[in-house]
Structure 1
Amino acid sequence: MFSLRERIQKWKKAHEVSIKELKFILFRIRKSPLSLLGTFIIAFYIIIAILAPILAPPQPSWDIFKNPNPFIIPDAYNSVDPTPPSPQHPFGITVEGYDIYYGCIWGTITAFRVGVMVVALSLIIGLAVGIIAGYYGGLVDEILMRFTDIIICFPGLILAMAFVVALPPALTLDAPTILIPITVVIALITLLQFLKRTSKRFANISLAITLVLAVVSALIMFGIVPKINVVQMPLTRLDKVLIALILVGWPGYARVIRGEVLRARSEDYVEAAKAIGASDSRIIFKHIVPNTIYPILILASLDIGSIVLTAAALSFLGIGAEPSYADWGQLVQKCEPYMLGVDIVRYWYIWLIPGAFIFIFGLGWNLLGDAIRDVLDPTLRRR
């Protein structure tokens, strides 16, 4: 039987490389005060989000049963002008009776939801498109990248506004809507197999699946087979913002990862994997993705702050979250009539405090993104 000390020494020896790498990462973070500041800022916001029910619980005077959703700021106060900060309401009250403190605290959860969800889903779509385009090249690369260029050529905020306005109040996906894109993807894969002259058996199976899906889609579209709604769910205004930002955000990641894949696929280790007969999926997931993922992770960490800022801009323009939703951009929008003349100084708290939450949140992610870059970027980490 080994003693506890011997077990610890054995574990340290087995994980010596990982421990050394972790120490180096912590050293790099400590070496940069701004990186530490960004880490503390995001940690502070995370604590606020976790403790929101404790920091800003609904008041007993609010009829919470009318709005059981805690993200809906209760309209409990009637006032002609905004009310300045007080012990009961530390950040003041808007002209419509909304507690700014409550909105800022619960709006932190909204900010994380918007930033993290949009970046994560955009990253997944961008990775899929960029890897397929970069690895296979040729006609597939041309089709995917030209479609990506079409989206990139539009200003992001304007295109997001158009998507938010165009999205229906309920998302309904019937069988043809799902089958047609799947059929197109499988058809492209089948075409690639025939062009590359790889496994004839796999190509024939893909061709058979494509034909079956195409026939089924045609039967449904011509009314021979009744349509079936596979997905049907209502969309809130915030849901529309999330979908719009995802549709606008993925092309940037696709372009970056495509460039990295183009570089990696010509490396010797990829050529060696092909020479020993490794499949495309194994080469992509075992060799290409681990060696190309870091730049796009750095870009994603830097984008979270800008995504939250864009969502706040949409709320300020009146097409973001619901009017009474706990959202920082919504709170700034409520002070719009008081942002001219002497009122901007007199009622400073209704725009400065929500604006500060947005600014510091974005600044924290930018600084944290710099720290992640210093840790993950191989061209900078060993300097």
Structure 2
Amino acid sequence: MREETRKALRRLFSNASGVLGVVLLGLFVVVALFAPLLAPPKPGRDPYFMPVVTWSADPLPPSREHPFGVAGKRDIFYGVVWGTRTAFRIGILVTLASTAIGLFVGSLAGYFGRILDEILMRVTDVFMAIPFLVAAMVLTTVLGTGLDKVMIALIVFSWMYPARLIRGNILQVKEEQFILAAKSLGVSDTVIILRHVLPNAIFPVLIQASMRMGSLVITAAALSFLGLGAPQGYADWGALLNYARNWMLGGYGATFKYWYMIAFPGGAMVLFVLAWNLLGDALRDAFDPRLRW
């Protein structure tokens, strides 16, 4: 096992796109960890709420005091830095919760099969038939605005994908000889699932989870852009883009005048999603059994 892990890590770090993904993700981790130093919050205030730096409603271009400019009376640099923590919180919590639910449902369906499999998979099909973004918008509207409501909506409508994947993997693994031997020895189903089936079927789910991390953050940002996610002034990349809605086209003869309102939060989102996708692709290639030597 150790030798295989070493070989997989060698393949991972010999993959140029994988190294790029690791570097990009590392930069975001550094920004999130050192956010209080990069963008010091005001004493006595919630650091996740961007302080008002001007009373003018007009955007202000990048300057020494505000290197990314000002949008919605708030510093874009502060929002991008603290928005990195928001992105990690949304991505990690939603991914962990939805993957755990998917593993539970998919394991039951794949291992026990028959009528339980039919019921659980038909419920899964119903959820998958609903457009993801539309469903998240509707549920967020019903629950009320706020990032916690957004995360609940994303969890409710994203557990189906790991459930489908783990079910397919378990259908293959449960027919292996070591699983049949464990059953013949009278080992309980719970022990077989936790100690034998899941460890041999879960890795593709983890790869998928890493690749879904970025898309979940984008969906949360889209809801914030539409005014359904982060509250007013909260450090969130989608909320920053929301401030740019009325300024995106600039004006006559000044199409790109307010480019900074879109470039910095939008660039952060693109790089964040790219980092997770590159890392997920590299992990899949590194740990693919067909590539082992």
**TM category, shorter:** over 0.9
Could you tell me which of 16, 22, 29 is aligned with 1:33?
A: 16
> How far apart, in 1, do the equivalents of 2:250 and 2:75 lie?
24
Q: Which one-letter code corresponds to 2:7 in the other structure?
A: F
For residues 200-223 of structure 1, what are the alpha-carbon distances to aligned partners after superposition, in whole Å with 9 as ceiling and x for unaligned? xxxxxxxxxxxxxxxxxxxxxxxx
1:341 positional shift: 5.0
CA distance in 2, matches of 1:80, 1:315: 20
Tell me if 1:320 matches 2:229: yes
Partner of 1:76: 53
TM-score normalised to structure 2 length: 0.95
Question: CA separation in 2, counterparts of 1:79 and 1:129?
Answer: 52
Secondary structure at the aligned position of 2:11 is classed as: helix
Report if aligned partners of 1:294, 1:377 keep a CA contact under 8 Å in 2.
no
How far did 1:381 drift? 4.1
Q: 1:303: Cα distance to partner?
A: 0.4
Distance 1:84 1:42 in 2: 28
Counterpart in 1 of 2:25?
42
Letter of the 2:242 counterpart: Q
Relative distance call for 1:329 and 1:284 in structure 2 (3 A) is: same
Alpha carbons of structure 1 residues 142 and 23: separation in structure 2 relative to 1, 3 Å: closer
**Cα RMSD (Å) of the superposition?**
1.4
Equivalent residue, structure 2, for 1:192: none
Q: Could you tell me whether the CA contact under 8 Å between 2:57 and 2:73 is conserved in 1?
A: no
Q: Identical aligned pairs, as a percentage?
A: 47
- Within 5 Å, give how 1:114-133 maps onto structure 2: 114-133=90-109
* Secondary structure of the structure 2 residue equivalent to 1:76: coil
CA distance in 1 between counterparts of 2:75 and 2:288 reads 43
**Structure 1 contact 85–91 (Cα < 8 Å) conserved:** yes
Could you tell me which residue of structure 1 aligns to residue 282 of structure 2?
371
Of 267-276 and 334-343, deviating more is 334-343
Mapped pair 1:345 → 2:256: yes
**Residue by residue, what CA displacement relative to the aligned partner does 1:38-80 show, whole Å, maximum 9, x if unpaired?**
0000000000000000000025xxxx54xx2100111231124
Matches within 5 A, 1:1-383: 18=2, 20-58=3-41, 64-65=43-44, 68-94=45-71, 96-167=72-143, 237-342=146-251, 343-382=254-293
* Separation in 2, partners of 1:317, 1:80: 20
Alpha-carbon distance in structure 1 between the residues aligned to 2:208 and 2:256: 37
Please give the secondary structure, in 2, of the residue aligned with 1:372: helix
Instruction: For 1:274 and 1:80, locate their aligned partners in 2 and report how far apart those are by CA, in whole Å.
Output: 69
Q: State the Cα distance separating 1:375 from its structure 2 match.
A: 2.5
What amino acid sits opposite 1:309 in the alignment?
I
Q: CA deviation at 1:22?
A: 4.3
The amino acid that maps onto 1:302 is M
Residue identity matched to 1:351 = I
Return 5+ residue gaps in structure 1 as ranges: 1-16, 170-235
Give the residue type in structure 1 aligned to 2:68: F
Residue 231 of structure 1: aligned partner: none
Cα distance change of structure 1 residues 271 and 344 upon mapping to structure 2, 3 Å threshold: farther
Shift of 1:126: 0.2
TM-score (norm 1): 0.74
Tell me the secondary structure at the aligned position of residue 163 of structure 2: helix
Letter in 2 for 1:243: I
1:69/1:341 CA distance change after superposition, 3 Å: closer
Q: Distance in 2 between matches of 1:259 and 1:252?
A: 11
CA contact (8 A) 1:338 1:344 kept: no
CA displacement 1:248-291 (0-9 Å, x = unmatched): 11011111111111111112111111111111011111211011
- When Rg is computed on C-alpha atoms for both structures, the one with the higher figure is 1
Task: Find the aligned partners of 1:292 and 1:26 in 2 and give their Cα distance.
Answer: 20
